Amino acid sequence: MTIHAAITGWGMSVPVNVVTNADIAKIVDTSDEWIQTRTGIRERHIVSGDETTSTLAAAAGRDAMQMAGVTAHDIDMVIVATFCPDRPLPATACRVQAQLGISRAAAFDIVAACSGFVYGLTIATSLIKSGMAKRILFCAADVVSHYVNWQDRNTCVLFGDGAGAVVLEATDQPYGLLSSVMGAAGDREELLMVEAGGTCMPMSTDVMAQGKHFLTMNGREVFKLAVRGMEESSLQALAQANMTLDDMKLVVPHQANRRIIEAIAERLNVPIERFFINVDRYGNTSAATIPIALTEAAASGALNPGDHVLLTAFGGGLTWGSAVVRWGRPTKE
């Protein structure tokens, strides 16, 4: 019997605090008009008070578990995709595990920046297919605002904070991840990175004075590579699943910039209406964009159990990945 990993529950969580383009225009030389025209972003949620990567991930995870109808005792593993951990040690997944009381689970993080959801979904599915786990809580959460230089208009307008989560459960029906293509170009790290804070360049007052602890990006170059990387990996993932775009109910792309999504739609020759877009309300929440979009798509009826959906992402690393997923819980088991 072939084992599959169905997505039986999902959820999302964003910080309470909303920051509009007009708010940012009070800090740096920009305008609502520039941001909306160049990116499609209107507002984003930014953490305040006690909110952290793990609290957002745990809130999304709680909803996903409730929808799946599983208790803390049922979960074998907790995986968090993030490049914004609560602390360097322990893994943010351990803190999520503690907050949700998932006491008998293994817990670990993965880092693949904006491609984190596709990478993590692939890892979680493989663990279930191999028989190593029966039920996994997988969260993708980033508090990008922690790394944003609020004096740099090239980047500070683009990002937001948030989390999404899914519960994956073993099934003999062909549901969940049907194909996955992932890639990386580690020799292009300078295009999108946080240079300091690790062993290469430990944090110091000097390093901080130079702003090396902030996220930097070559926006124009990343834009081009993102369009190409998401187009190519999408076609590869479809071919691997033996399907075409006509079989997809929806395409859920990483939400970095509306113009990137429009360019991919044009290159794939798919009407933009078949793409789910919510970058206007959240900005780029890194690994969290896809599960937040999936949760909203499912809530709006744009995505229903049994539908096929194409996921595609691109981000720091550089990393990229695309996947074909059959959404939801099998109807008969």
Instruction: Find the shortest distance in angstroms from Cβ 113 to ligand UT7.
Output: 7
Which strand (E) or helix (H) includes residue 6? strand 4-13
Kindly tell me which of 13 and 21 has the beta carbon lying closer to ligand UT7.
21
Q: Which is nearer to ligand UT7, 32 or 307 (CB)?
A: 32
Residue 73 backbone dihedrals phi, psi, to 5 degrees: -70, -25
Catalytic residue among 84, 114, 139, 156: 114
Residue 284 falls in the annotated catalytic set = yes
Residues 42-101 interacting with ligand UT7 (rule: CB under 6 A): none
Residue range at the interface with ligand UT7 (CB under 6 A); choices 142-150, 230-238, 253-261, 296-304: 253-261
Residue of 18, 34, 188, 245 that binds ligand UT7 (CB under 6 A): 34
How are beta strands 308-315 and 250-253 bridged, if at all? parallel
- Residues 74/135, Cβ–Cβ less than 8 Å: yes
- CA 124 – CA 93 distance, rounded (Å): 13
Query: Under the criterion CB under 6 A, does residue 284 sit at the interface with ligand UT7?
Result: yes
What is the Cβ-side half-sphere exposure of residue 270, based on CA atoms within 13 angstroms? 25
For the segment 218-247, give every residue that binds ligand UT7 (CB under 6 A): 219-220, 222-223, 226
Is 153 one of the binding residues for ligand UT7 (CB under 6 A)?
A: yes
State yes or no: residue 38 binds ligand UT7 (CB under 6 A).
yes
- Asked about 254 being catalytic, the answer comes back as yes
**Per-residue binder mask for ligand UT7 (CB under 6 A), 106-145, x = binder:** --------x-------------------------------
Instruction: Tell me if 283 sits within 8 A of 114, measured CB to CB.
Output: no
Q: Which of 8, 13, 21, 39 touches ligand UT7 (CB under 6 A)?
A: 39
Question: What is the SS3 assignment for 242?
Answer: coil
What is the distance of C-alpha 298 from the center of its chain?
16
Q: Please, what is the minimum distance in Å from the beta carbon of residue 284 to ligand UT7?
A: 5
Distance CA 193, CA 188 (A): 10
The answer to whether 53 touches 143, Cβ cutoff 8 Å, is: yes
Residue 188 touches ligand UT7, criterion: CB under 6 A: no
332 scored as a contact of ligand UT7 (CB under 6 A): no
Per DSSP, the residues of 67-106 read HHT--GGG--EEEEE-SS-SSSSS-HHHHHHHHHT-TT-E
Q: Catalytic site residues?
A: 114, 254, 284
- Applying CB under 6 A, the residues found at the interface with ligand UT7 are 30, 34-35, 38-39, 114, 153-154, 157, 192, 219-220, 222-223, 226, 256-257, 260, 284, 314-315
